[in-house]
Amino acid sequence: MSLSSKALLWQKIIALDPICSGSLHEQYLPCGKSNCQCKNSQHPQRHGPYYLWVRRLNGKQVNRTLKPGPELEKVRKGIANYQLLQTYLGQVLLEDENRVLEPDRAWMGATKKNFRWKLPKS
């Protein structure tokens, strides 16, 4: 990777805004009313859609419920940008590893030639 293509990748990374990790899940939920249509046993009509944004912060799972609107669209764009960020960083890492290591020791595809299990200490 030439310096100019690496600089171009970094410019693309800097331009990503917003960046949000995690995933979105669409949900239709029942309410608490006993005589509501969402409780109908034959043809339930649940309420929604509600969107659950699931991510990890400081090692803990964090969930946020979002309603359709501008906030949901920002999170969707942020998640798409996060996936692009991972792609761009993967390209930078691959090229730098190829530059640092000898050609025959660089990235080896999907093989696990240099992989070793580490056994837990008893």
What is the span of the domain harbouring residue 49? 22-68
pLDDT tens-digit map of 21-36: 999 999 999 999 989 9
Whether residue 30 lies inside any domain: the answer is yes
Residue 47 domain-assigned (yes or no) = yes
Q: Is residue 51 one of the residues assigned to a domain?
A: yes
38 in a structural domain: yes
- The burial of 53, by beta-carbon neighbours within 10 Å (0-12 exposed, 13-18 middle, 19 or more buried), is given as buried
- According to the model, what pLDDT value does residue 15 have? 95
Domain assignment present for 99: no
The pLDDT score that the predictor gives to residue 58 is 95
For residue 73, what are its two tokens?
């669209």
Could you write out the DSSP letters of every residue in 6-25? HHHHHHHHHH--S---SEEE
What total number of domains does the chain contain? 1
Tell me what pLDDT residue 4 has: 77
> What pLDDT digit, counting tens, does each position of 42-70 carry?
999 999 999 999 999 999 999 999 999 99
Q: Compute the CA torsion angle 61, 67, 73, 79 (nearest 10 deg).
A: 10
Domain membership of residue 39 (yes or no) is yes
- Give 7's pLDDT tier (boundaries 50, 70, 90): confident
The pLDDT tens digits of the residues spanning 66-89 come to 999 999 999 999 999 999 999 999
Judge whether 44 lies within some domain.
yes
pLDDT at 104 over 80: no
More confident residue, 13 or 111: 13
